[in-house]
Structure 1
Amino acid sequence: MTDIQKEDRPDRLSVHPAVVDGVLVVTVRGEIDHDGRDVLSQALTSPDGAAPPRIVADLSSVTFMDSSGINVLVTAHRQVSAAQGWLRIAGARKPVERVLHVVGLDALIDCHPTVEQALNS
C-alpha cells in the first residue's frame, strides 16, 4: 500500500497502511487535527468504506492529536467492534498518550507500547 497525505499540507500528516498477518497496521506520522482527520479516517477503512476487522494504529510518529483524531479513532473502534473485530493503538508518545488518557480513550481502546505488542496481545 502507499502513503496517503492531504495534498495541500503534505508535511502535516501522512499515513501508511500495510497488512501484517491479516491485520491492517496504519502507521501515522505528523499531526492529527481537523485538517488531517479525513486522511486518517480513509486509512482506517477499506476501499468499500467498511472498517477492516482488525486494526493497529501506530501513533509512534504522531506529534500532536486533537479532538478530531479522537473522534476518528472512536468511529473506527465502533465500526470494527460492530464487525466483531478490534482496534488497538500502539506507540503513542507522552503528549498523545496524555490526550488518550484525559478523554478516557485508553479505557475504550487497548493501548500498547509497540506495534508488535499490539499485534500479539
Structure 2
Amino acid sequence: MTGPEHAAQVGQLTVVHTLTDGIRVVSLAGEIDHHTGDTLRAALDASGGPEPRIIVDLAQVTFMDSSGINIFITAHRTLGEAGGWLRLAAVGDAVMRTLRIVGVDAVIDCRETLHQALCD
C-alpha cells in the first residue's frame, strides 16, 4: 500500500488534510489516544478562516480513548463559537461504540460516510 493514508502504525496517527468546496477534510489513520492527542489537536486547529468547517474522516481509525473524545468536544465548541462546525464521518464500529457510550454522537454530527458529511 502506498500513500500517506496507509502509513499509520500501531501507536501512531497519520493526518491528511484536503479541501473540498471550502470544507477542510481531515482524514485520520491509526490510533487516537494520549500519545497522539497533540497531533489530533493540531489537525483540528480552527484558525485561518472566517467560517471554519471541518469534517474528520475516521474510516481508518482503529482505536480512540477519552483523549480523543475530549479533543473532539473542545474542537466542536471552538468551531461553533467561530461560526463553523465539526462533523465526524465514516466512524468505525469500535470508535462509534465509544462515542455512543459517552453520548458524543448526540452532540457532534456523525455521518455514515464522508460523502454524506460533505453533501449537507
TM-score (norm 2): 0.86
Per-residue CA shift, 1:48-87, capped at 9, x if unaligned?
5889610100000000000000011011100110012110
Name the aligned partner's letter for residue 78 of structure 1.
R
**C-alpha root-mean-square deviation of aligned residues, in Å?**
1.9
Aligned partner of residue 17 in structure 1, secondary structure? strand
Q: How does 1:65-76 map to 2 (within 5 A)?
A: 65-76=64-75
In 1: Cα distance, 2:87 partner to 2:28 partner = 13
Which residue of structure 1 lines up, in the alignment, with residue 13 of structure 2? 13
Structure 2: gaps of 5 or more residues: none
Aligned partner of residue 97 in structure 1, secondary structure? helix
In 2: Cα distance, 1:79 partner to 1:18 partner = 20
Aligned partner of residue 69 in structure 1, secondary structure? helix
Contact 2:51 2:83 in 1 (8 A): no
In 1: Cα distance, 2:51 partner to 2:32 partner = 21
Aligned residues: 112
Per-residue CA shift, 1:24-53, capped at 9, x if unaligned?
10000000000001001101115x588961
